[in-house]
Copies of this chain bind each other. A is one copy, B any other.
Amino acid sequence: MKLDEAKEKFIQAWGVLGTSWGISRTMAQVHALLLVSSQPLSAQEIIDTLSISQGSANMNLRALIDWQLIEKIVKIGERKEYFSAEKDMWEITRRVMRERRKRELEPILKMLEDVKTIELSEKDKKEIETKEEIEQKNKEIKEFKEMMQQIDSFANRAEKALDVMIKASESKIVERFLK
């Protein structure tokens, strides 16, 4: 099998995998293409190779830059912009971890802020209830608060753990040890 076929196979596969990683097929394909290109590519080259539109190329390239998975390269004396992917898997992983922490963990913490500040009390009850009903209600309130507390402390720990992992993996010593 020739190099170009292998590259194409890789791009296809990376595109499929991307979808299960919450990344759109095209974004993953653009990333894959840049991962296996030995030199930076222009937007036009990407458009031609993957048969996508200018608009899509632009959008996906911007998103990849946002994730810090690729960067713009400007060649002196040239007007076109070129794009080049970070090729170190450790660096890629760190950047994906950072981005996902931002997108996935922070919203949880924010949501819990909201839910936790509300005052849960049985005082609002309008109806006369039996002792059993009131106790059941109190039990439910307690359980709900515990669940929220559990999620909150979990999310906080996860955030700290991620921090540690990211920082640790940045250390040359740890990296060498793992490699």
Binding site for B on A (CB under 8 A): 1-3, 5-7, 9-10, 13-14, 16-17, 20-22, 35-36, 38, 87-90, 93, 103-104, 107-108, 111, 114-115, 118-120, 124, 137, 139-141, 143-144, 147-148, 150-151, 154, 157, 178
Contacts and interface: CB of A to CB of B under 8 A. Distances in A.
Interface SS, A side: helix
* 9 shortest interchain CB distances as A-B pairs: A1-B118, A13-B111, A89-B154, A89-B150, A38-B140, A38-B143, A22-B22, A6-B118, A2-B124
A9 B157 CA distance: 23
Number of copies: 2
A27 to B, nearest CB: 15
